[in-house]
Amino acid sequence: MKFSVLIATFNRAAVLAETLESLAGLRPDGPWEVVVVDNNSSDGTRQVVETAARTFPAPLRYVFEPEPGRSAALNSGFRAARGEIIATTDDDVRVGADWLDRIAAGFEAHGCDYVGGRVLPIWPCAVPAWLPARKEALCGVIAVLDYGPAPVRYGDRVPLGVNMAIRREALRRAGDFDNRIGRKAGTLLGQEVREWCVRAHAAGLVGYYVPDVVVQHLIPADRLTKRYFRRWYYWRGVSRAILYANCGLDMENPEGRAHDAAAVRHVAGVPRYLFRTALVNVKEAVAARLGGDAAGSFDRELWLCFFAGIVRQRWRDRRAALPAPPQHASAAATQNA
């Protein structure tokens, strides 16, 4: 088997059916398969996959993963996949017939261990005027990515899991995704691809952005709201704080040099310099609002949501590390009686 395409899904049977219809148009040079991992859905996901499998042009397999989390689902898919190249995507994409062949060409051209490509949006409505202009904001919140027309070696940039492919041997060397920071129902935890790339680079693996590898991503209308953006940035702060605690990665620039936490001054577990940055963002948000720059003010507000997530998670980490309070003598005597 040359290619395996992995889709992790949760309660999105209708949109999954359309994505499988798009994948059925693939015409790769070599044997391929699609593995759909159902992350404990309660809708008709299994029926959708089994119905599509009857006429699908390649093996289409259903895998059930009860452990919550996209990373857990993908890890289950990695174990089930038979391809030498394993491509990950989502249940709401459209691909061209040559998607897998372009992935293979990217591996051959760069002699690398993993590749990623462009993710172009399919908008459900007019783009809101308040939408941040920064590509980094769009990349994270609504999974849109375009690093330009030239290939880029990954280092200070990372791919999106909706359009990423990994050699099987690279997974063996770097390991699976860390489900502690992957997306789970009820949260917007993330950063699992970034954390995997950090481990991959430490293992000597090389990845490239290949602009010819393209998918189109359907943007859900409910993500084009300020409430969703605020919530996403808050959970981003939580995720980055977990990376900081586990790996020492800078919370604003995790691709930079890892920090020695003992050498950084902290307040309630948060690096002190982030409080100064927060104060600057408050001032800039107010100035932008008074100056009529609503988009600029909202952009600064999103950083403050990110900071709130950091404070929340670092406070929890700090409390978890504290020793249990001493037990009162009379209470201890009662328990021992």
The predicted-structure confidence for 32-59, as pLDDT tens digits, reads as follows 999 999 999 999 999 999 999 999 999 9
Quote the pTM value: 0.86
The predicted-structure confidence for 118-127, as pLDDT tens digits, reads as follows 999 999 988 8
Domains along the sequence of the chain with CATH: 3-221 (3.90.550.10), 227-321 (no CATH)
Q: Is the predicted pLDDT of residue 79 greater than 90, yes or no?
A: yes
Q: Which residues contact 124 (CB under 8 A, 6 or more apart)?
A: 218, 219, 220, 221, 224
- Write the CA distances from 208 to 137, 161, 199, 238, 301, integer angstroms: 21, 14, 16, 28, 33
The predicted-structure confidence for 167-206, as pLDDT tens digits, reads as follows 999 999 999 998 888 777 778 888 889 889 999 999 999 9
The predicted-structure confidence for 238-290, as pLDDT tens digits, reads as follows 999 988 888 788 888 776 655 566 677 888 889 999 999 999 999 999 999 99
Are 119 and 92 in contact by the 8 Å Cβ rule? The answer is: no
The predicted-structure confidence for 205-221, as pLDDT tens digits, reads as follows 999 999 999 999 999 99
Cα(216)–Cα(120) distance, rounded to whole angstroms?
5
Q: What is the pLDDT of residue 181?
A: 80
Three-state SS string over the chain comes to CCEEEEEEECCCHHHHHHHHHHHCCCCCCCCEEEEEEECCCCCCHHHHHHHHHCCCCCCEEEEECCCCCHHHHHHHHHHHCCCCEEEEECCCEEECCCHHHHHHHHHHHHCCCEEEEEEEEECCCCCCCCCCCCHHHHHHHHCCECCCCCCEECCCCCCCHHHEEEEHHHHHHHCCCCCCCCCCCCCCCCCHHHHHHHHHHHCCCCEEEEEEEEEEEECCHHHCCHHHHHHHHHHHHHHHHHHHHHHCCCCCCCCCCCCCHHHCCEECCEEHHHHHHHHHHHHHHHHHHHCCCHHHHHHHHHHHHHHHHHHHHHHHHHHHHCCCCCCCHHHHHHHHC
Three-state SS string over 1-31 comes to CCEEEEEEECCCHHHHHHHHHHHCCCCCCCC
The predicted-structure confidence for 215-249, as pLDDT tens digits, reads as follows 999 999 999 999 999 999 999 999 999 888 887 88
